[in-house]
Structure 1
Amino acid sequence: MATLVLPVANRSVRMAIIQWWCRRLLRCFNITLTTSGTVPGKDTHGVLFVANHISWVDIHSINSLLPVRFVAKLEVRNWPVFGYLVRKSGTIFINRTRQRDAARVVQLASNALKLRDNLCVFPEGTTTEGDQVLPFKSSLIQAAIDANTIVIPVAICYAQPDGSINHAAAYAGETTMIESMLAFIHMRAPTVHLHFCQPIIARELSRQALAELAHAEITSVLYKSPAQYQQAVA
C-alpha cells in the first residue's frame, strides 16, 4: 500500500502512512518498543530530536511514535526494502564525503523546522554497538538554533531481559543490512527502548554547548548503575 499511496499523498497523509508502516514493520520483526520520559504527543511540531545511533530500527522506532523527518547519510537511500520509505518520508540526505555539504543540510533542516516539521539527527555520525555514545558533532544541531526551537535528546538502547546490552541488535562494523535483518528475525523477543529526555531551549546555548548537553543527557540515562539501567529499559 505504501508504495502506491506515498507518491501521490499530501504531507499529513504521507506521514500517517509512514507511522502505520513503521508500527507494522516492528511487529513483523517481533520487536517490542518501550518508552520512558515524556513521549511527545501529536501536537509536537518543529522539534529537533537528537539521538544516539545503533541500528536501522532506530528510525522506524521513532517514526512509529511520531512521524519525524531524518537527516541521514547518503548511503541510506539505497538500503534494501527501507530505502524507498526513507526517501519518501522527506529524509534530508548528507554526503559525508563532502566537507561543505553540512552547511547545505543545516539550511534545509532549519527551513524544515521553521515549517513545523519534526526532525531527528544522529550526531555521532555513525552507528555503535550500543556500549558507548561517541562524541556528538555539533554542525547539524545548529539548525535548531537558527530555527529558534527546542531540542529533545533521545536515548536509544537494545537490552537483554537482564538489562545487559543486546549487541546483536547493532547495525555496525562490517554487518550488512541483510545480516542485520536476519539477526532480528532470529532473536528471541528483541526490545528497543527510547527514553525522551527533557527539552532544551536551543537559543540559550551555542551549538557546541547544545551538543555536549544533549550527549550528557543521553549518557546519563544509558550508563546508570546496572539496577537503574535495567529499570530504565523495563
Structure 2
Amino acid sequence: MSNILLTKTPFLIRGWRIARISLHVLIGLTLATLVLPVANRNVRTAIIQWWCRRLLRCFNITLTISGALPGKDTHGVLFVANHISWVDIHAINSLLPVRFVAKLEVRNWPVFGYLVRKSGTIFINRTRQRDAARVVQIASNALKLRDNLCVFPEGTTTEGTQVLPFKSSLIQAAIDANTIVIPVAIRYAQPDGSLNLAAAYAGETTMVESMLAFIHMRSPTVHLHFCHPILAREMSRQALAELAHAEITQVLSPISPSNQQAPSLQTPDQEAVA
C-alpha cells in the first residue's frame, strides 16, 4: 500500500480518469459486440490496437520499449513473456496484433473478460492436463495461419521480483508450426527505476483493486524489452522454454535505475485534454 501512497494522484484527477476509463470501456463493449464479429482481420487488428493504446492513455500509463521491436509486418510469431498484470496484455496489443493464450479464469474478469473473449483469446483450463494438447493444436494452427500469439508460461502473475520457471507445454505450438519465438521481458518501474510492486495483479488482489491502484498512481510506467528471435525448430520445447526464461531473466536482473532506462514510446497523457 505504501507503494501506492507515494505516488497518489489528487482526487479530481482520479475522478477524471475514472470517467474517461468508463467511457472508453463502453466504447470497447460496443465495438466488441457490434463490429469485431463482422470485421475482417485488418479492421479487427486496427480496432484492438487503437483501443489498447487509448486504454493506456486513460490510465495515464507510459509505455517504453527497448530491444529488437518486431515490425508491423510480423506474422506467425510466438511471443513468450513474464506476467505481472492485466496491463501486460494491453501494452503488447497496443504495439502488435497479437492473440493471447490465457487461463480460463480470465473469461470471468469484470468487463475485460468479455473484451478478451471477443478479441480472439485462446483459453486453457490449467486444472485439466489434457487441455494443453487441445490448446497447442489450436495455437499451432493459428501460427500457421500467420496469427501472432503470446503466452505467459509462468502460468500465473507475479510481483515482478522474480521470473518463475516456464512451463513448456504451450511452447510446443511454435515447434509444430516451424516458426520463431520472441521472448518479451516486462517490468513496471517507479520514477527512480525501482520496481513498482503496486502494479502487480497477483496474490489476493482483485481486478477492481488492481485498476484502482493504477488510477491512484501519478505516472505508472510499463516497460517491454523484446529479445532476439529464437528458431523454434532447432530446439526441444524444454530447451526453448529454458532459453526464453534465461533471456528474460537476464534483461530483468540485476534491477537498477542505471540499466533499466528506455526511450518512451508513449508519453503520459495530458489529463486536461479528452
- Give unpaired runs (5+ residues) of structure 2: 1-30, 253-265
**Aligned: 1:90 with 2:130:** no
Relative distance call for 1:203 and 1:231 in structure 2 (3 A) is farther
After superposition, the Cα gap between the structure-2 partners of 1:12 and 1:211, relative to the gap in structure 1 and judged at 3 Å, is same
Distance 1:233 1:67, change over 3 A: farther
For the residue of structure 1 that corresponds to 2:84, the secondary structure is: coil
Distance 1:231 1:29, change over 3 A: closer
After superposition, the C-alpha distances for 1:51-70 in whole angstroms (9 at most, x for unaligned) are: 00000000000000001000
Displacement, 1:4?
A: 2.6
Contact 1:2 1:21 in 2 (8 A): no
Q: Residues 94 and 81 from structure 1, CA distance in 2 versus in 1: closer, same or farther, beyond 3 angstroms?
A: same
Contact 1:50-1:123 within 8 A present in 2 as well: yes
Whole-angstrom CA distance in 1 between matches of 2:201 and 2:267: 25
Q: Residues of 1 paired with 2:64 and 2:271: CA distance?
A: 12
- Superposed displacement of residue 81, structure 1: 2.0
Asked if the contact 1:18–1:89 (Cα under 8 Å) also holds between the matched residues in 2, the reply is yes
Offset of residue 2 of structure 1 = 4.3
1:28 aligns with 2:68: no
8 A contact 2:168–2:238 mirrored in 1: yes
Shift of residue 45 of structure 1? 0.2
- Contact in 1 for aligned 2:32/2:119 (Cα 8 Å): no
Task: State the SS of the aligned residue for 1:18.
Answer: helix
Check conservation: 2:77, 2:148, Cα contact below 8 A: yes
Distance 2:172 2:104 in 1: 20
In structure 1, distance between residues paired with 2:272 and 2:66: 7
Cα distance 1:126–1:60, how it changes in 2: closer, same or farther (>3 A)? same
Of the three residues 52, 69, 80, the one matched with 2:82 is 52
| Helix, strand or coil at the partner of 2:186 | strand
Q: Identity of aligned pairs, percent?
A: 91
Distance 1:78 1:5, change over 3 A: same
Instruction: Tell me if the contact between 2:32 and 2:118 (Cα under 8 Å) persists in the aligned partners.
Output: no
How far is the alpha carbon of 1:39 from its aligned partner? 1.1
Q: Secondary structure at the match of 1:233?
A: coil
Q: Distance in 2 between matches of 1:231 and 1:153?
A: 33
Structure 1: 4+ residue segments shifted above 2 A: 1-4, 230-234
Distance 1:152 1:123 in 2: 13
Q: What CA deviation, in whole Å up to 9, does each residue of 1:158-193 have, x standing for no partner?
A: 011111110000000000000000000001200000
- Deviation, structure 1 residue 7: 2.1
**Residues 42/114 of structure 1: CA separation in 2 closer, same or farther (3 Å cut):** same
Instruction: Tell me the TM-score normalized by structure 2.
Output: 0.80
For residue 225 of structure 1, report the CA deviation from its aligned partner.
26
> Conserved in 1, the CA contact under 8 Å of 2:62 and 2:267?
no
Aligned counterparts of 1:196 and 1:116: Cα–Cα separation in 2 = 19
Q: Helix, strand or coil for the counterpart of 1:65? A: coil
- State the SS of the aligned residue for 1:140: helix
The answer to whether the 8 A contact 1:18-1:85 is kept is no
1:72–1:233: structure 2 CA closer, same or farther, 3 Å change rule?
farther
CA distance in 1, matches of 2:272, 2:222: 12
The alpha-carbon distance between structure 1 residues 194 and 232, as it changes in their structure 2 partners (threshold 3 A), is farther
Aligned to 1:148: 178
Greater Rg by CA: 2
Instruction: Give SS of 2:129's match.
Output: coil
Contact 2:124 2:131 (8 Å CA) reproduced: yes
Inter-partner Cα distance in structure 1 for 2:138 and 2:76: 13
How far is 1:15 from its partner?
1.5
Within 5 A, what are the aligned runs for 1:161-172? 161-172=191-202
d(CA) in 2 for partners of 1:159 and 1:71? 25
- Report how many residues are paired: 230
Q: 1:83 to 1:225 in 2, by over 3 A?
A: closer
> What is the CA distance between 1:26 and its match in structure 2?
0.3
Distance 1:184 1:104 in 2: 35
Cα pair distance change 1:76/1:169, threshold 3 Å: same
Counterpart secondary structure, 2:65 = strand
